[in-house]
Structure 1
Amino acid sequence: MTMRVPWVALCVVLVLVLGGAQVSMAAITCNALQLSPCATAITSSTKPTPMCCSKLKEQRPCLCKYLKDPKLQKFINSPNAKKVATTCGTPFPRC
């Protein structure tokens, strides 16, 4: 089972890369790839890293846009993603 996590994380990163939206919003650029430091925490219920929390806070204004993307929504709207947001002190948006 320890070999499974890297493959799952890799798949999540690939989905983020292939489906990553890049849209300018005020002072932030929406890019789902920026959330890749959170992939392990989202897919394996491990504690998010400080880098993950930083990127999540940075990309928070973009989460509703990501939720509308069929390629990303199952990761962004997962129970683990919501736990990561809570752990990072970043309220999950209501879209």
Structure 2
Amino acid sequence: MKKGFTGVAFWCLVVAAVLLSEAHETAAVTCNPMELSPCMSAITGSSAPSSACCAKLKEQQPCFCQYMKNPMLRPYVDSPNAKKIAETCGVATPTC
């Protein structure tokens, strides 16, 4: 059961990051939602996001609109923890 919860929580983070981040055009970014795994403990618990989490959110910003188009990721975007993480990291809401 815990493994399933962890997977769902991770996808919640990924989708939330998509909605909460402004997309910027940047060359050579590999769009992979698994890159956001440093944020897992913040999304599943009440801990603050690490500097690695914030760095990955900012790095993946050019991909957020793409993630929004994915029906498996999009439902998790409105997670309260994901919104809090994005705000803490200084990542803005995307305009897709």
Alignment of 1:1-95 (within 5 A): 8-13=5-10, 26-95=27-96
- Rg (Cα) greater in structure: 1
3-state SS of 2:91 partner = coil
Point out where structure 1 has 5 or more consecutive residues left out of the alignment.
17-24
Q: Distance in 2 between matches of 1:7 and 1:37?
A: 18
Letter in 2 for 1:9: T
- Does 1 or 2 have the higher relative contact order (CA < 8 Å, sep 6+)? 2
Q: Structure 2-normalised TM-score?
A: 0.68
Identity of aligned residues (%): 49
For residue 28 of structure 1, give the secondary structure of its aligned residue in structure 2.
Answer: coil
Structure 2 residue runs of 5 or longer lacking an equivalent are 13-25
Tell me which stretches of 4 or more aligned residues in structure 1 moved more than 3 Å.
Answer: 10-13
- Tell me what 1:20 maps to: none
Please tell me the residue identity of whatever aligns with 1:34. Answer: E
Structure 2 counterpart of 1:75, which letter?
A: Y
Look up the SS of the partner of 2:90 in the other structure: coil
Please tell me the residue identity of whatever aligns with 1:38.
C
